Amino acid sequence: MAKARSGLITSVIALALLAGCTPAQPTMAPPKPSPTCTPEAGGPEYPCSPYYYDQMVAKDKLYAEAETVYRKFFAEEERIYRAGGVTEPTPVLLETATGEYLKDSAAFYKYVHDHGIRAEGGEFRISWIKRAPGVSSQGSIVALESCKDARSVALTQPTKKPTAGGVVNETALFVRVGPALKLTAAESKEVASC
């Protein structure tokens, strides 16, 4: 009887061990959602492949970098106007612009200096910046369109009556110079408002 009982206990233990070692049922991981992309010019999202998603992310970073460069140049432009111009390109101009754009900007700010033009009061303001997909020239890799409003600023000059700043719609083009993104060209026109 003792043998039967120990055989029974052994069988129960073996069954218990087997029951604890049964393989767990595989759990199904939910499928990864398909990435969504937004058109470069804006608009509704749409499903896209991981490749196109990565391309969109890289382009978004490029536009963000271009906007940072543009705003830095704009702030330096205001500083130069308020200082009454400069005779040489400043470190910020050299950091944010290149080629003919840098040359033309430096020549213009020297003209401002030489003629005693100075910006006073008011506010230099970028009303909006947006992407300009498909716009390219002179090897540019990205473009932005903006509207700048300086109507509240007085431009003074010795022996002349002060004039108000204007409103300018501008398309700015950027190139990569080594690791830096820089302004290389711009098309501007005066407009009535932003």
Q: Which CATH number fits domain 36-190: 3.30.160, 3.10.450, 3.40.630, 1.25.40?
A: 3.10.450
57-84: average pLDDT: 96
pLDDT of residue 15 exceeding 50: no
What tens digit of pLDDT does each residue of 95-106 get? 999 999 999 999
> When comparing pLDDT for 136 and 75, which is higher?
75
User: Following CA atoms 77, 83, 84, 88 in sequence, which dihedral angle do they give, to the nearest 10 degrees?
Assistant: -70
pLDDT of residue 115 exceeding 80: yes
Alpha carbons 133 and 41: distance in angstroms, whole number: 6
Which of these, 79, 66, 100, lies nearest to 90 by C-alpha position? 79
Sequence ranges of the domains in the chain: 36-190
Alpha carbons 143 and 145: distance in angstroms, whole number: 7
Question: In the structure, what pLDDT confidence band is assigned to residue 42 with cuts at 50, 70 and 90?
Answer: confident
pLDDT of residue 3 exceeding 70: no
Alpha carbons 115 and 118: distance in angstroms, whole number: 9
pLDDT of residue 1 exceeding 70: no
77-97: average pLDDT: 97
Q: Taking the model in full, what pTM does it have?
A: 0.80
Return the exposure string of 52-78: e unless at least 16 CB atoms fall within 10 Å of the residue's CB, then b.
Answer: eeeebeebeebbeebbebbeebbebbb
Residue type at 181 in one-letter notation:
L
Question: In the structure, what pLDDT confidence band is assigned to residue 29 with cuts at 50, 70 and 90?
Answer: low
160-172: average pLDDT: 94
pLDDT of residue 6 exceeding 80: no
Show the CA angle centred on residue 101, arms to residues 96 and 102, nearest 5°: 55
Which of these, 160, 134, 163, lies nearest to 151 by C-alpha position? 163
